[in-house]
Structure 1
Amino acid sequence: MKTTKWVIVILLALITSSFLFFYHGKVARESIIFFPIDDSVTFDKASTTLQFAGKKDDDEYIIEWDVTSLTNKEIYLRQDISLLFSDGKLVDTLSEWEDQSQKLAQYKKITGEDSSHYQTISLHYGEIHLENDLIRSTQRMSRDHLYVIDSEFTDLFSFKRPLTDEELDWKDILDKVTEQHLEYSWNQLIDYYKIDETKYEKIPFIELERYNTDPLLGLSKAKTQEVIGSLWEGLYKNYFLGLKTKEGKVIEPIGSTMPLILVAKNYSHIVILIQAENGLPFKFIQNISLND
């Protein structure tokens, strides 16, 4: 009887701890929420890097993917997310979070094959709790890219910026492949949703990083940060964690096209267009308020 009692106690403890872990994990996964920026919290470091690590076997090679960030002080919550694209398609993601933290570091080895252009972009995010229940945030983006050439006509090699005629030729080829793939998918989405392109500024998702410092169209620096922060919040919930259909089904984002960001020239809203791996179209709208 004693043995049975202890078994029940242990099982209850395991169930409770599993529930607590799941609940805490769920809270963390929903934690990227834009709050007004706290200028007193800055990033001493925010970087994303891709490095060629060499040959894995006759058909595959390895890329090392690193995402690190460091704030100037410890804050309530730190979270970094990163997305990796190959020739315009999402191939992998990274995510890490910590309570009461200052530094985050992630590392992953990626296996690839064939010649490809890899591009990655990360959001480094922090949630700050102040006195009087005020909540603020801090954010910064980083990105990197890498060309890997795996052809039967040449030795395996990689580069970031072309330094030889051969590398320049390969860059042109791979850029054209990516451009054609994305333009075809994006044009399909624009036609499907009957969008008037003349009313929007087009921004490929990977290029968001430049708005760490540049203003978005004619917006102020503060409003740019608000718009970008809200954009990442929406992408995290509706893309990074899975593409949600109208029926409530969640589709894995891996294999989908790089999102196209359409910013309305009248500053009223943003449209995000994505095509899932199975061809299913997705459109998300983010309104912009210029009154606050």
Structure 2
Amino acid sequence: MKKKWMVLILLALCTSMFLYFFKGQNARESIIFFPITDTVSFTKASTLLQFVGKKDDDEYIIEWDVTSITDKQAFLRQDLSLLFSDGKLVKTLSEWEDQSQKLAQFNKVSGEDSSHYEAISLHYGEVHLNEDEIRSVQKMSTDHLYVIDSEFTKLFSFKTPQTEEEQEWKDILDKVAEQHLEFSWNELLQHFKIDINQYNPIPFVELAHYQTRPLPGFSEEKTQEIIGSLWEGLYKNYFLGLKTKEGKIIEPIGSTMPLLLFAKDRSHLIIIIQSEDGTPFKFIQNINN
């Protein structure tokens, strides 16, 4: 009898642990775009990249901080951030809380060689106005940092070049990243037979520039709707892993920065990405006018 009760208790514990894990996974994947509300707003939304210093003879460290505060408590708050180095995804950050106003997270990232780091973040809140009405509040932030690690000069960093040397390094690193991305993106365009002339291309990190201005051909209100739906799709299909047609999940780290292609007829947008092993990915988001 005693053994029977022990088995039942163990089964109950296992079931509760499974349900907790399952519930947690669902919550973690809960970014869903709802119409934007003006009843809640962000008082702070920031992404900051800072050079910390030398780690050892081969590596250095940068600190990556993502912070956001809303003026009122939201049903669900979540911040996502993606860090790119010379056009390749190197790390992601994510944090969520129920019934919260403030989120703050940071990560120390090791790097080597001269690089241009770019980070873009989505600060998101799910707001329940009543039992039947759910709305979203969202904001993006971004930052970048050039780190120069060369045997010909001392280790240093900058955001905006202030000297001739810094300008030269910026030009070199920008050119290297641009050539790499153009090569990958052109391969993807050819693979998927996409006529670039039919689209307005925007590199993913530049999406943050449309926080306060409309996307080409759209109103500011429609822009925020498109951006919200875009982040929802990227979170499920990119941030959490790239899913192949066969159902295999490929780690997004090492993939090229997504290129966003907005159709000039305003009917849809296409996102193209190349994984680290060269696998091409295409996602389509229809736009309802």
Calculate the TM-score normalised by the size of structure 2: 0.97
What is the CA–CA distance in structure 2 between the aligned matches of 1:37 and 1:53, rounded to whole Å? 37
Q: Show the counterpart of 1:142.
A: 141
What is the CA–CA distance in structure 1 between the aligned matches of 2:271 and 2:102, rounded to whole Å? 31
Matched, 1:18 2:27: no
What is the CA–CA distance in structure 1 between the aligned matches of 2:52 and 2:65, rounded to whole Å? 12
Q: Show the counterpart of 1:90.
A: 89
Q: Show the counterpart of 1:217.
A: 216
Q: Show the counterpart of 1:63.
A: 62
CA-CA distance at 1:27 after TM superposition:
1.4
Runs of 4+ that moved beyond 2 A: 4-14
CA-CA distance at 1:223 after TM superposition:
0.6
Paired residues for 1:1-292 under 5 Å: 2=2, 4=3, 8=7, 11-290=10-289
- Write the letter of the residue equivalent to 1:182: L
CA-CA distance at 1:68 after TM superposition:
0.5
Seen in structure 2, the aligned counterparts of structure 1 residues 134 and 164 have a Cα distance that, compared at 3 Å, is same
Seen in structure 2, the aligned counterparts of structure 1 residues 10 and 169 have a Cα distance that, compared at 3 Å, is farther
Seen in structure 2, the aligned counterparts of structure 1 residues 132 and 181 have a Cα distance that, compared at 3 Å, is same
What is the CA–CA distance in structure 2 between the aligned matches of 1:106 and 1:169, rounded to whole Å? 33
Deviations along 1:157-198, one digit per CA (max 9) or x if unpaired, are 111111111111110110001000000000000111111111
Deviations along 1:91-110, one digit per CA (max 9) or x if unpaired, are 00000000011110111110
What is the CA–CA distance in structure 2 between the aligned matches of 1:111 and 1:20, rounded to whole Å? 36
Seen in structure 2, the aligned counterparts of structure 1 residues 248 and 38 have a Cα distance that, compared at 3 Å, is same
SS in 2 for 1:174: helix
Any gaps of 5 or more consecutive residues in structure 2? none
Seen in structure 2, the aligned counterparts of structure 1 residues 7 and 152 have a Cα distance that, compared at 3 Å, is farther
- Write the letter of the residue equivalent to 1:258: M
What is the CA–CA distance in structure 1 between the aligned matches of 2:152 and 2:209, rounded to whole Å? 36
CA-CA distance at 1:10 after TM superposition:
5.5
CA-CA distance at 1:132 after TM superposition:
4.1
Percent identical = 73
Q: Which moved more, 1:212-221 or 1:260-269?
A: 212-221
- Write the letter of the residue equivalent to 2:187: Q
SS in 1 for 2:205: helix
- CA root-mean-square deviation: 1.3
Deviations along 1:198-226, one digit per CA (max 9) or x if unpaired, are 11001000000011111011211111100
What is the CA–CA distance in structure 1 between the aligned matches of 2:18 and 2:263, rounded to whole Å? 44
- Write the letter of the residue equivalent to 2:266: Y
What is the CA–CA distance in structure 2 between the aligned matches of 1:53 and 1:13, rounded to whole Å? 48
What is the CA–CA distance in structure 2 between the aligned matches of 1:215 and 1:119, rounded to whole Å? 22
SS in 2 for 1:72: strand
SS in 1 for 2:187: helix
What is the CA–CA distance in structure 2 between the aligned matches of 1:7 and 1:280, rounded to whole Å? 50
Deviations along 1:21-74, one digit per CA (max 9) or x if unpaired, are 212221122211100000111100000000011011000111101000001100
What is the CA–CA distance in structure 1 between the aligned matches of 2:285 and 2:59, rounded to whole Å? 40
- Matched residue count: 289
